[in-house]
Chains A and B, each alone.
Chain A
Amino acid sequence: MNALSGDSPGLQRRRRMDRAFRVLCTTMAWTSVLILAILLLDIIRNGTQWLDLQFLQSFSSRFAHKAGIYAALVGSVWLVGLTAVMAIPVGVATAVYLEEYSPKNRLSRFIEVNIANLAGVPSIVYGMLGLAIFVRAFGFGHSILAGAATLSLLILPVIIIASREAIRAVPQSLRHGSYALGATQWQTIRAHVLPVATPGIITGVILSLSRAIGETAPLVIVGAATYVAFLPEGPLDNFTALPIQIFNWAARPQPDFHDLAAAGIIVLLAVLFVMNGTAALIRFRTQRNRPW
């Protein structure tokens, strides 16, 4: 007991409230972890019984015990591949333009604001754009190409924003060194800026593609089929995708199909886990190796 031990009733009450508040905030923060754990456990508990080689190799079926995810898995691979081919060049080029070329004028400012706002447009609205433009106006029909084009537009803002950050992190001194050797702007960008920015760009690209894999609503709108008993052979074929198949199973009333949905979710989450893990690894390794 001494003058500084703060034993006045007022201070004791405040300390009690402080402790209670700390407990409250801590609990709230860890609630997210708890929710994540419950979610994963629930899915694993329901899904693992259906998860076998047959599930991965079968087409969907009216009978739960015959149904599999083969077409959806292949469809998702097609989708992501085409999306990557379309979205990455355009996204990275936009980022290079905005960071390295764009004059500080109203057009550049407009493009930037526009990208920020596109990032907030609900994904279902992209689906409606895809339906009207790609499916109908361009005549792609309910094809993989229409779906991938729609998803490309959807993830474009994410790729642009991540690539810009990566390009911005390249130190100015590197550019100056290149210019001092008589290199042109494009030579500088190609030989020095882009190689250094690549790990950051790849991380952003992987994260955006993993978002594309999980997107359901835009694909429903552009007309991904819910029952497909064949594998797509070209970009103009009809298709289904993992989240569509999961949605379809989850929407059925029979509990068996719910468990099938859980099995499908395990596959989807496993794909996402691998992608995000790769992105995290790249991020970790470049952060460690970077001299600045």
Chain B
Amino acid sequence: MVDPRSLATTEEAPSSSTDVELDSPTILEARGIRFAYSAEGPDVLHGISMEIPENRITAIIGPSGCGKSTLLRLFNRMNDFIPGTDLRGEILYRGVNVYGNEVDPVEVRRRIGMVFQKPNPFPKSIAENIAWGPKINGLDSGASLDERVRRSLEQASLLDEVIDRLDAPGTALSGGQQQRLCIARAIAMEPEVILMDEPCSALDPVSTMRIEDLLFELKKQYTIVIVTHNMQQAARVSDYTAFLENGHLIEYGETNQVFTNPRQQRTEEYVTGRFG
């Protein structure tokens, strides 16, 4: 399945394994991404290039501090809120550089949603948590907004648990429920891509299972990029896996291949648990 050319290039330049054969069109692409948190500081990403396929789950794995969350946050310009950062390279969304001069970051985040490491529901009611995004973005109002709230909760498989208390504060839910609320909140915007930054790291195993099941459902409609330090999770849920180490993209390929037949020595050591 793997293009022999890519084998050759990855041997020489592991940080730019862009030539993975994807079974779906590219929706997001990182092109030669170099990133530092300050102009004088060291690069935390050293020229990452990779393509994210549409309607697939792409996992980004790697030891902590390898830059995987930083990379994820570049996709929807969340790093804009850190002053003084230094970014070179391009992030292309359907061929448009999201850091281009003409681009409005608000529009980017409307289309590329995000779920965070720790559930962060607003201190508003469950229904308002979900309705807020569509409301400010003028997607819906009135009855059809209520319907959107229900639909999103259903898609996030939370509806049954909260149907009788939509007016209760979102913060009153359990951790796992809060995270599904945050997923529902992202879905309600009908984004094309959902970025997930270690969405299960603050959750118990049962809640984690529920979210993983949910990911399978969601990938029918959405492109999902998930950052995780949990290799079993990456192996279970993702179609493609990228392995990052020290800001270098070591290996990128079909999940099955990365875990069972890695091309790089470092990847093998990492996925078999010899380090990291």
Contacts and interface: CB of A to CB of B under 8 A. Distances in A.
A119 to B, nearest CB: 30
Interface string B103-146: 11011100100000000000000000000000011100000000
A15 B100 contact: no
A4 B137 contact: no
Given A11-B104, A15-B104, A15-B106, A4 B136 contact: no
B111 A4 contact: yes
B96 interface: yes
A5 B104 CA distance: 5
The interface size bin for chain A is 10 to 19
A195 interface: no
Contacts of A2: 96, 100, 102-103
A2 to B, nearest CB: 5
A4 B107 CA distance: 6
Contacts of A4: 93, 96, 98, 100, 102-104, 107-108, 111
A6 B136 contact: no
A137 interface: no
Contact of B138 (A1, A3, A5, A10): A10
A5 B97 CA distance: 11
Contact of B102 (A5, A10, A14): A5
Contacts, number: 37
B39 to A, nearest CB: 24
Contacts of A3: 93-94, 96, 107
Contacts of A5: 102-104, 107
Most B CB atoms within 10 A — which of A4, A10, A15? A4
Interface in A1-37: 1-6, 10-11, 14-15
B137 A6 contact: no
B137 A10 contact: yes
A4 to B, nearest CB: 4
Contact of A6 (B93, B94, B106, B138): B106
B113 to A, nearest CB: 14
Interface string B225-250: 00000000000000000000000000
B94 to A, nearest CB: 6
Contacts of B98: 4
Contact of A11 (B94, B100, B102, B106): B106
Interface of B: 93-94, 96, 98, 100, 102-104, 106-108, 111, 136-138
20 contacts: A1-B102, A2-B102, A2-B103, A3-B93, A3-B94, A3-B96, A4-B100, A4-B103, A4-B107, A5-B103, A5-B107, A6-B103, A6-B106, A10-B137, A11-B106, A11-B107, A11-B137, A14-B106, A15-B104, A15-B106
